[in-house]
Amino acid sequence: MLKFFARYKTFAIVFFILSVIIIFCIYTLLKPEERLPVYQPDMVNAELVDSTVQYVRKYHKIANFELVNQNGDTITQDYYENKIYIADFFFTTCLTICPIMTDHMVQIQEKIKDDEDVLLLSHTVFPVTDSVPVLKKYAREKGVIDDKWNLVTGDKKQIYELARKSYLATKSTGDGGKYDMIHTENFVLVDKDRQIRGFYDGTDPEAIKNLMHDLEVLKAEYR
């Protein structure tokens, strides 16, 4: 009996290794590749979408923009060409959700600071007070890395249209007067083709974990 097992020992080992490889290959082939959806306006809560784009079902992209960052530099969509980026909306004097959101952006910045493919973009929703010097002071206080993260101000109408028509991220239109403003906790994940690939509650640590996971999934699409 021992001679029998000794004779077929090598065969058994080889057979076992081949079996493991075959099972692994079958599992890999059958397991669907994780891929993020491409969000269209008709897929999003209608309250978050401007009525002019509410029923769009394909080809939705972030519109061109021209805003000014914390250093007084003009920032356009060209800055984010061939980049993945995470966008949000805030204002510097906010005492409710914005500090939490900004802290989470700081955490994300730390994780992506050496990643050349990923950038951040925060739009002030209160441009009447968030001037370039105000944004610069805020950026310094929060440890913003200029090459990774733009805090932008500019024309209020343009910013608000971006929020509702492009990023599909806020219920309010902010058209109630000079000091009326939109408010949204949404972080928006945008791919290299200016398409929305995810929405995340910027105040929720678990949502931020999901965002970082989805960011890796999205980056895998470009490998």
- Please state the residue numbers annotated as binding site for Cu cation: 94, 98, 183
Closest CA to 141 of 186, 92, 86, 202: 92
Contacts 24+ apart (CB under 8 A), 94-99: 97/183, 97/185, 97/202, 97/203
- How long a stretch of residues is the chain? 223
- Pairing type for strands 84-90 and 118-124 reads parallel
CB hemisphere CA count around 112 (13 angstroms): 26
CA distance 95 to 173: 21
List binding-site positions.
94, 98, 183
- Rounded to the nearest 5 degrees, what angle is found at the Cα of 62, between the Cα atoms of 56 and 64? 125
Task: Report how far apart the first and last C-alpha atoms of the chain are (Å, whole number).
Answer: 53
Tokens of 105: 């952006």
CA distance 90 to 151: 9
